[in-house]
Structure 1
Amino acid sequence: MLIGDKIKSIRELKNYTQEYIADQLGITQAGYSKIEKGKTSLSLEKLQQLALILELPLENIIHFESQRYFNQDSSIAKGPAVNSDKNFELVIRLYEDKIELLEKLLGKTDQELQFYKENLAKH
């Protein structure tokens, strides 16, 4: 698995858009897309920035291999893998981060709905 594929998988697990990551890196979405596709070289500095944005240690990004745990058809764990406990913990952490993000978004949506309800009640 190429580093761009790993970054893309982690980004998707965290429910981040390419636009969000690109903005955090100070580049265009198209430029970021080239990183994920392996069309642009990724410097160590950019990789470290990505690790901060994705809130993961750099080594977890480098060693991330989702296909060791989930096959594309049924999401069932595959056979034994090197460092499987470490990778499994990473996958769990990514899903927990995604759940936390979704809960925050739901809370924000609830606040906005309450705001609109209150404003409609005044009119």
Structure 2
Amino acid sequence: MEQQITTLNLGIKIRFFRDMKGLSQQALAMQLGISQQAYQKIESGVTKLDVERANVIANELGVQLDFLISFSPANYWYQCTLSGNTVNNNIPKELLEAHQSQIQVLKEEVLFLRELLKGKL
């Protein structure tokens, strides 16, 4: 019998990392070889994931499955300790890399849109 992942907010976590990578539901669904509707059911929690499928999704998102399952904004997202003039952030490497990837995608999109505007002005 396959082990079911019972984390209530797994779909929300998957959506968070998908958004961080700048992927649409359609794009990630295509990478997974499923329809956008089937993928939407995963994010909304309608479809229960077994460990194997969750691992495939985590890999496509560029994170480890255990990190995806245990991820909690309360535990990982901008945990700061102010000490004098020093701020200590506990930001996981995967999250930082996802942010950097998203920034790069947005920079490329801005450059593309600027080029489009140059042609129309």
- TM-score w.r.t. the length of structure 1 is 0.66
- TM-superposed CA distance for 1:30, in Å, is 1.0
Query: Which ranges in structure 1 are unaligned for 5 or more consecutive residues?
Result: 71-75, 118-123
- TM-superposed CA distance for 1:89, in Å, is 3.6
- TM-superposed CA distance for 1:66, in Å, is 2.1
The partner residue of 1:6 within 4, 10, 13 is: 13
Distance 1:52 1:90, change over 3 A: closer
Counterpart in the other structure of 2:57: 50
Question: In structure 2, how many angstroms separate the alpha carbons of the residues matched to 1:29 and 1:96?
Answer: 26
- TM-score w.r.t. the length of structure 2 is 0.67
Q: What per-residue deviation string (whole Å, max 9, x for no partner) do you get for residues 87-119 of structure 1?
A: 544432221111122234456x27x75xxx6xx
Q: What per-residue deviation string (whole Å, max 9, x for no partner) do you get for residues 60-99 of structure 1?
A: 21122124466xxxxx7578xxxx83x5444322211111
Verify the 8 A CA contact 1:4 1:36 in the aligned structure 2. yes
Question: In structure 1, how many angstroms separate the alpha carbons of the residues matched to 2:99 and 2:67?
Answer: 14
Question: In structure 2, how many angstroms separate the alpha carbons of the residues matched to 1:78 and 1:34?
Answer: 35
Question: In structure 2, how many angstroms separate the alpha carbons of the residues matched to 1:49 and 1:104?
Answer: 27
Verify the 8 A CA contact 1:11 1:54 in the aligned structure 2. yes
Q: Which structure: greater helix fraction?
A: 1
Between 95-104 and 28-37, report the one with greater CA deviation.
95-104
Question: In structure 2, how many angstroms separate the alpha carbons of the residues matched to 1:106 and 1:61?
Answer: 30
Tell me, yes or no, if structure 1 residue 97 matches structure 2 residue 101: yes
Question: In structure 1, how many angstroms separate the alpha carbons of the residues matched to 2:18 and 2:103?
Answer: 14
Give the aligned residue type for 1:95.
H
Give the aligned residue type for 1:2.
N
Give the fraction of aligned pairs with identical amino acids, expressed as a percent. 29
Verify the 8 A CA contact 2:62 2:94 in the aligned structure 1. no
User: How many equivalent residue pairs?
Assistant: 106
